[in-house]
Amino acid sequence: MSTRGILLAALLVGGCNIITPYKMDIQQGNVVTPEMIAKLQLGMTRSQVRFALGTPLVVDPFRNDRWDYVYRYMKAGAVTEQRQFKVHFSEDKLARVEGDGAPATLMPASPVKPAVPAAPAQPEPPAGKPVAGG
């Protein structure tokens, strides 16, 4: 066998171990950050929770009282990070949370106070005219 043949055979055999298909990084689901979780309060409505956390990845049609936020990150075909966060409702109000990053307790939502109308501003007298009594 010539030198070229040996070199070609070595490259072919050695290349089998080096060449692998490219595997993309895949990010799936909802990223729920601690800042987002800190916005949650007991008694929040579903729309308020959706505004704070985003649309849930899984809404079970048979258990309408729970939303699941699932996050998974795969790097080179292997799962490197996986998180789950569950939000439970009672009578369409946030009752409890559980999962990765869930606080031990949630603060109750502060009731919305009706806006108090401000007193009407006193009109200023026109410039150049004296103010009575002054």
CB atoms inside a 10 Å sphere around CB 71: 17
**CB–CB of 93/43 below 8 Å?**
yes
| Euclidean distance between CA atoms 73 and 71, whole angstroms | 7
Name the residue ranges covered by the structural domains of the chain: 20-99
Whether residue 89 is predicted with pLDDT greater than 90 in this model: the reply is yes
- Over the stretch 108-129, which tens digit does the pLDDT of each residue have? 766 555 555 555 666 666 666 6
Q: 20-99 in CATH: which number?
A: 3.30.1450
Phi-psi category of residue 48: left, alpha or beta, with phi > 0 → left and psi -120 to 50 → alpha = alpha
| pLDDT tens digit sequence for 53-85 | 999 887 888 888 999 998 888 888 888 888 899
Reported pTM: 0.62
To which residue do tokens 């004296």 refer?
A: 130
- pLDDT tens digits along 25-41: 888 888 888 899 999 99
How far apart, in whole angstroms, are the C-alpha atoms of residue 81 and residue 33?
14
Max mean pLDDT range (11-15, 22-26, 129-133) = 22-26
